[in-house]
Structure formats: structure tokens, C-alpha cells
Amino acid sequence: MSERGPHIVIAGLMGVGKTSTAKALAEALGWPMRDSDADIESASGRTGAALVREVGVCRLHRYEADVLTAALSGDEATVVAAAGWVVEDPECRRLMTERSRVAVLDLDIGELMTRIASGDHRRPMTEAELRSAASRRSVLFDEVATWRLDARQSTVELVAQVAADVRGTT
């Protein structure tokens, strides 16, 4: 176990590729994987987009914090695809820092907007909202990041970077 905890959290803005990267990394390491979107759907019976429409973004954020907390509570090393918002929550940042190593995926706003538009499970977000979120979260991602990775790379390249480092430190 590393000094930061047994888990790896894949973090970043909405649409950056957290789920696909987490799945591939978990497979490469032979670790279990948790996905915020899937956990929220399982717990609530609704997608993030449906939750925003039906109960509001604040309730979605509470689900996101709860599923991250649950994912990081175990002792078995797990790869976690976290919701983008959780880095704004001080308790979530504390848990990520203490219980995991964090790979933050970065991608430009234009590419993120294209990706967001292609997924119906994501809540709608305007370019202005995404830019605002990116501005608020950048320093917070720096605070928790073990790795900052360019998400223009292929999933194979991203996984290779993190897996090689993890194998060298676990």
C-alpha cells in the first residue's frame, strides 16, 4: 500500500474519459473497478442527467460524494472513476488525498464539449458552465493529483503510464 492509500482515483472534468481509463487500468492491474455513474444509477435508478432534471444538481452532487466515500472506504486496492464535481467537496478531497493516488485527466474545453454532447447519461452543461467548472477545479485537481495526464493520449498510453508507476511503488 502506498503512503496515500490503496486506491487509484481517475478524476477530471465531465467527458474527459474517466470511465474508459478506469476500466482499462483496473483490467491492467487486476484490480476491481468502481464507477461513479454506474454506482449512482444503481443506487438511485436514474442517470445523472435524470437526477438533475428530477431532483436538482445539489442532490446529484450528494450522490457523487456518497459513492466516492463508499468506494474509498474499503481496504482492497480499487480503481475508481470519480464524478468531476467531487474535487470541489473538501471532505472528498481529504479522502482522495489520504486514501488514494489520483490520476487527473486533462483535455481542452472544445473537445470536452464534443464528448459531452454525445452522451445522454451526462447532465447538460453549457460551454460557459464547463469553463467555470474548469477554472474552479484546476487548482483543486492540482491539490489532489499524483499524476496530471493529457487525455488526448490513447487509453492504452494513459494506462501504461499509471500502471508502470503503480507497479513500481506497490
For the entire predicted model, the pTM comes to: 0.91
138 has pLDDT over 50 = yes
Torsion angle defined by CA atoms of residues 87, 90, 91 and 93, in that order, rounded to the nearest 10 degrees: 40
Res 48: pLDDT: 85
The topology (CATH level 3) of 7-160 is Rossmann fold (3.40.50)
* 124 pLDDT higher than 90: no
- Average pLDDT of span 30-59: 91
Per-residue pLDDT at 3 = 57
- Record the cell numbers describing residue 31, joined without a space: 484490480
**Cβ(77)–Cβ(163) under 8 Å?**
no
Q: Is residue 1's pLDDT more than 50?
A: no
Report pLDDT for 49.
Answer: 83
